[in-house]
Amino acid sequence: SQTIHQWPATLVQPVGSPLSLECTVEGTSNPNLYWYRQAAGRGLQLLFYSVGIGQISSEVPQNLSASRPQDRQFILSSKKLLLSDSGFYLCAWTKAGADSYEQYFGPGTRLTVT
């Protein structure tokens, strides 16, 4: 069966510090991968998605970047955090192909920028 991991689970970082959040998927190959942010108002905002190694699409121009160095690894980064980067970050995956469109989410990382 497939599982998705995210770490760290919680993070408190000062403004201006760098960020690296990691997401890995087990039990599947060549998944589509996604980063979402959920702010306090509950809405889910798609930040980045990737259909393969090194292939990153950005949905919203911002202070963040993403990378996919391996097939089942997706990393969210920032060089200098802003207060507005605080939120709940969720990684998700879906099977590439025509039969499955539901996304499966990881446990999330709660980021507080102080």
Which residue, 51 or 82, has its beta carbon nearer to other proteins? Answer: 51
Least Cβ distance, residue 45 to other proteins (angstroms): 9
Q: Residue 111 burial by CB count (10 A; 0-12/13-18/19+): exposed, middle or buried?
A: buried
**3-state secondary structure (DSSP) of residue 96:** coil
- Contacts to other proteins from residues 15-74, by CB under 8 A: 32, 41-44, 46, 49, 51
Which residue, 86 or 103, has its beta carbon nearer to other proteins? Answer: 103
Which residue, 77 or 88, has its beta carbon nearer to other proteins? Answer: 88
Contacts of residue 15, Cβ cutoff 8 Å, sequence gap at least 6: 80, 81, 82, 83, 113, 114
CA distance 52 to 78: 21
- Contacts to other proteins from residues 70-109, by CB under 8 A: 88, 90, 92, 94, 101-108
Least Cβ distance, residue 82 to other proteins (angstroms): 22
Which residue, 14 or 54, has its beta carbon nearer to other proteins? Answer: 54
Least Cβ distance, residue 34 to other proteins (angstroms): 8
- Per rule CB under 8 A, is residue 11 in the interface with other proteins? no
Q: How far is CA 37 from CA 28, 41, 45, 53, 85, in A?
A: 24, 11, 5, 22, 9
